[in-house]
Amino acid sequence: MTAENPTGPLGGHLDDDDFPAYTMGRAAEMLGTTQGFLRAIGEARLITPLRSAGGHRRYSRYQLRIAARARELVDQGTPIESACRIVILEDQLEEAQRLNAQYRGAAASASSPPAV
């Protein structure tokens, strides 16, 4: 088995943050929460787990990180719907700031005089 041609049940997805590797039970255990919490953040559209062929929810590491952020807020007393909205808005703000920085960098390089 080589890195270029992985084999096994995960088929090279060990480093893939978006691969839905975790069952609902395992995800809840890893987060130290209940399956009901995961259902609730799914209903609030914070994360949308993929479904296995049998219809079971599967979560990725990326989704678990988002769920953990929401759980921290809920643990501090924030209602679950509000916690989900906060996490969504934080992510949107971060993306907007990243794009602004990218556009400013492109504008600065386009307006700078050529080196002589």
Three-point CA angle 95, 68, 65, nearest 5°: 50
**Other Cβ atoms within 10 Å of 79 Cβ, number:** 10
**Other Cβ atoms within 10 Å of 30 Cβ, number:** 14
Supply the pLDDT for residue 5. Answer: 45
Burial class (CB in 10 A: 0-12, 13-18, 19+), 100: exposed
pLDDT, tens digit, 9 for 90 and up, residues 60-86: 999 999 999 999 999 999 999 999 999
Supply the pLDDT for residue 18. Answer: 83
Supply the pLDDT for residue 10. Answer: 52
For residue 23, the SS3 value is strand
pLDDT, tens digit, 9 for 90 and up, residues 14-60: 677 889 889 999 999 999 999 999 999 999 999 999 998 898 999 99
Q: How far, CA to CA in Å, does 36 sit from each of 66, 72, 113? A: 16, 16, 59
